[in-house]
Structure 1
């Protein structure tokens, strides 16, 4: 007994977060006595109904489903009533907010007689007028006639198991209404329940609720899809043999399900020069940090099944591995795009040995190109700094910041001004007009949108920062009538993946797509523009188990809270965009760009 209690104690503390009560659903721990730590696993998982099968044998109530599985040490007292009392005495249980569903496997009347005798020693726990917060036992399985319910003690209630619901029933003694799920449906928990079966089930649920009683079904499929379906239908006690998994999944729904409140209209590209073999004069590289295929799909389905991005026809897949790791980080991923060389994770603009590498702004300056970077991250963040810095550690912000005044950039817009306080004079000496978006007079502009990190778009006043910065950047770099390169990063799609937060992920992806629309429209208006849209890596191992396009609602599932090695899509539009089709390494993006530049421009 002591071993069971100590194991139970360890479980309770290791799962203390899962034990928090959910106000949105209730778990029924089916056949709970079969768990490694009966009662405690269910309690730690937040179950509000805990099932124990009992067999009357030699005057004792054994916790078992059939006689062959009886263990003399496992009784309703040892597995349930004693642990509950000990838990209250030790402060592990601070209130009884659950019921025991006692499933009688032997004849009702003699078994209930013994149960009443047993409970005489647990009156301190039992529900009653003198103890309204006490433990309720709901009798299931073999039960007395309904007409006899009123003769049993205050703490004893009954599991009513019939479709015959009427006002004459002794509702004050009915603890819940339960039926076999198979009376309504043969659904296996995969895909979607057949609609007429679902309607019959919903009608019964609603009928039970009309009598202000909870409903439960046994024999249900035991999967995430099923748990969510029953939760959405209003099943009060969701039946499961996996209480911890069910509780964890259902608790996650506020983070994993998102309904997009506002759909933006997608720009329809003209395709007049898409893939045309004309001189490339404007190169716009757009990087959605962490933006894999599932993220794009989520944005698509949440936006009425249409995105600016998904209008494009030329696309491929990018392999993202770093030199020292199968799964890249943003520093190595962005360095591959900026320099055409693989490097170690955490390294910016240097090779695996730490030797500085020339980046696109450095190189393109020799071909007469102006360059700029725009990001929703801090400007010392891994992706933007790969286009101006040369340092082996991405978190050395002060070291990274020191490279910006020496860069070949003509424009930078992003957050993180506090990291550049010591560089302000050097930036001004390098010709940057700081914190004024002035198209008319300045040849170099540096704009800090925030002292530290920018807020997420959702729930803040960030507004259309990325879209408007993109518009400004295109106009600013294009005003000199010289060729230019512009890198635009949507940084917080990655944050949504890391945090397994669907609302953040989808809203940031849609914000990115609005900027993509501006760039595609610019390309249509400015021949010789090449637009490349990709990601540095995928974040979260995201999939989309369920959704509803009509209501712009998506449920995302997450395999990880980190980056993954999944290939990421690449889209291209405009001049020579067809050359970006295929499956290739991230470094090839750089080399494809440089091949086009060298084909049409002369270097110094």
Structure 2
């Protein structure tokens, strides 16, 4: 055996043992009964699995691949299905099992007929393939009717063996053990649903610990074979995932890093005072916070990530909004935003217009007509669909320059977000920021100016300030909200504020759990600031909802004490599921129940007595 081969064997053995400190990847996949796949060898090989299993029968000098003796087919030989394809791959990979020299492959051959004769036939067959037995990243391992460990030394060094738990191997024998395998049913009756009972978990842990103490990866056969089982096995540090569903496990492991997240930055939540007796009968002001793409699963992922606490989960008035658009079961942000902004269902991609394209009066416009001050804030592009639905009228959401033009005639008092290009780097060469300045707006393309602006009418747009939380965005939403509230509450007129957390939606489209959780927690901190304002003001109603859910997120596992969560996204687009509506302050009880998204607008207009 060469030094490189020995190092390769050690790498295979210890890579799986140390998997708990790394990400599980395709090297942990054991393609059980691989020959039963529609495309034996190649399907598993293309996923770069770590283990491929073939059961063999010795029949008239040939090694036939089959599960039962009655299934033997003289055309399905070990050489045809596995040895020759492997030889071709190794030749293409310049002597390695995979093109990636860091990837190792174990060909597990389960001896179904009398061990000594079958193993002798296997050795003779392998000698016909010197590239296989000389490959430093391929290991030939036998299982099934194996010879006793004390006889292993009779066989060539290129033959390795499937170990068993509880066996006192000598040092030399242990060197020939590729991995340790055992029947799952001998230690647990778990069917893959729910949790493994503690007694059985302890028994499994003891076997795993024994294998790891020998420096060997652990595999169980006869296991439940589903997502919940794979998760639990990874948690148990079972190094090798025995599966009949190679493609599904491969996809699960590929997506696992983006589907999982552990949050270490915990924020303290605010406890609302619920001084209901001090609240006015109806609100004077309304703060509407829209978490774009935020369904209940997104909120709960944030709750888990924040170690079991969220500001929004302190609220007791909860309803659900049905988000369908006029022309589709699944809304987009344009139709969803327009429904809340105008009280009318419209087509997807339409902003502030009805299904025929006629302009609708927005909530912001009605508020201005009734002598309210209005603020619109987003941690995304301010001309994107949701914020635009409150001030613009266009039959296509992508018309960002036309949407920006609409703002100049909206009379909205405060606008904060990204999207400066649509205002000052336009195809028509207009500079709308200059035009707004001439209308007595304080205008800035630096978000830091929000701390020093003195005017009660201002537009602050800076793209660099609205990058994602992952890329370093600071407390943009909370600062925008609190600074704007300071301006609005310092005036005699009532106010309406719409604040959007735009990028929860972006995390859903990206199917990225960390993205979603970080954005949810950022928005929740703004919710906490709004709750504090309600308690200080007593005549402001706070509403938090979403335009739709994004990603079809389900939560597969988590640990609240650790702030870790594992999700699964069923789509990279929106879904039709109803979204929660939370409310706090005078009139909050009106938002209980289940209703169409248009009712949010109608309830607000009724409470504010808008004409």
TM-score above 0.5, yes or no = yes
For 1:217 and 1:532, locate their aligned partners in 2 and report how far apart those are by CA, in whole Å: 51
- Matched ranges for 1:153-552 at <5 A: 153-167=156-170, 170-273=173-276, 278-421=281-424, 422-435=431-444, 436-437=449-450, 441-450=454-463, 454-460=466-472, 462-552=473-563
Confirm or deny: 8 A CA contact 1:404 1:427 kept in the other structure. no
Q: Deviations over 1:202-255 (max 9, x none)?
A: 222122122222221111111112212222322222111111111211232211
For 1:270 and 1:217, locate their aligned partners in 2 and report how far apart those are by CA, in whole Å: 54
Of 41, 44, 50, 1:42 maps to 44
For 2:571 and 2:492, locate their aligned partners in 1 and report how far apart those are by CA, in whole Å: 46
Which SS does the other structure have where 1:220 is aligned?
coil
Confirm or deny: 8 A CA contact 1:275 1:573 kept in the other structure. no
Q: How many Å apart are 1:181 and its aligned residue?
A: 1.1
Confirm or deny: 8 A CA contact 1:275 1:576 kept in the other structure. no
TM-score, normalised to structure 1, is 0.92
Bigger shift: 166-175 or 115-124? 166-175
Structure 1 spans left out of the alignment, 5+ residues? 1-20
For 1:573 and 1:62, locate their aligned partners in 2 and report how far apart those are by CA, in whole Å: 71
Q: Deviations over 1:373-416 (max 9, x none)?
A: 01101111111111111111111211111111111200011012
Confirm or deny: 8 A CA contact 1:274 1:574 kept in the other structure. no
Structure 2 spans left out of the alignment, 5+ residues? 1-22, 425-430
Asked if 1:125 corresponds to 2:132, the answer is yes
For 1:511 and 1:304, locate their aligned partners in 2 and report how far apart those are by CA, in whole Å: 15
Confirm or deny: 8 A CA contact 2:317 2:588 kept in the other structure. yes
Which SS does the other structure have where 1:37 is aligned?
coil
Of 69, 86, 89, 1:87 maps to 89
For 1:448 and 1:472, locate their aligned partners in 2 and report how far apart those are by CA, in whole Å: 15
Bigger shift: 221-230 or 403-412? 221-230
Match for residue 150 of structure 1? 153
Confirm or deny: 8 A CA contact 1:317 1:570 kept in the other structure. yes
Confirm or deny: 8 A CA contact 2:466 2:476 kept in the other structure. no
Confirm or deny: 8 A CA contact 1:260 1:302 kept in the other structure. yes
Asked if 1:588 corresponds to 2:599, the answer is yes
Change (3 A) 1:122 1:212: same
Change (3 A) 1:274 1:399: farther
For 1:439 and 1:99, locate their aligned partners in 2 and report how far apart those are by CA, in whole Å: 65
For 1:523 and 1:168, locate their aligned partners in 2 and report how far apart those are by CA, in whole Å: 71
Confirm or deny: 8 A CA contact 2:90 2:131 kept in the other structure. no
For 2:122 and 2:307, locate their aligned partners in 1 and report how far apart those are by CA, in whole Å: 58
Change (3 A) 1:572 1:274: farther
For 1:204 and 1:283, locate their aligned partners in 2 and report how far apart those are by CA, in whole Å: 60
Q: Deviations over 1:317-341 (max 9, x none)?
A: 1000011111001111001111111
Q: Deviations over 1:563-588 (max 9, x none)?
A: 00000000111111111111110011
For 1:406 and 1:356, locate their aligned partners in 2 and report how far apart those are by CA, in whole Å: 14
Confirm or deny: 8 A CA contact 1:413 1:446 kept in the other structure. yes
Q: How many Å apart are 1:439 and its aligned residue?
A: 6.9
Q: How many Å apart are 1:450 and its aligned residue?
A: 2.2
Which SS does the other structure have where 1:125 is aligned?
helix
Q: Deviations over 1:474-512 (max 9, x none)?
A: 111121121000000001111111111111101111111
Aligned length: 574
Q: Deviations over 1:25-71 (max 9, x none)?
A: 51110000100111111112221110000011111000001121112
For 2:450 and 2:35, locate their aligned partners in 1 and report how far apart those are by CA, in whole Å: 68
Of 63, 66, 70, 2:65 maps to 63
Which SS does the other structure have where 2:248 is aligned?
helix
When the two chains are superposed, the root-mean-square deviation of aligned CA atoms in Å is 1.9
Q: How many Å apart are 1:438 and its aligned residue?
A: 6.5
Change (3 A) 1:214 1:437: closer
Q: Deviations over 1:147-188 (max 9, x none)?
A: 111111122111122422344561122122111111211111
For 2:419 and 2:348, locate their aligned partners in 1 and report how far apart those are by CA, in whole Å: 22
For 1:225 and 1:351, locate their aligned partners in 2 and report how far apart those are by CA, in whole Å: 46
Match for residue 110 of structure 2? 103
Bigger shift: 164-173 or 183-192? 164-173
Q: Deviations over 1:408-461 (max 9, x none)?
A: 20001101212210312222123211124377741310011325x82111341x
TM-score, normalised to structure 2, is 0.90
Q: How many Å apart are 1:561 and its aligned residue?
A: 1.1
Which SS does the other structure have where 2:532 is aligned?
helix
For 2:579 and 2:375, locate their aligned partners in 1 and report how far apart those are by CA, in whole Å: 24
Confirm or deny: 8 A CA contact 1:298 1:544 kept in the other structure. yes
For 2:277 and 2:368, locate their aligned partners in 1 and report how far apart those are by CA, in whole Å: 26
For 1:57 and 1:188, locate their aligned partners in 2 and report how far apart those are by CA, in whole Å: 36
For 1:458 and 1:404, locate their aligned partners in 2 and report how far apart those are by CA, in whole Å: 30
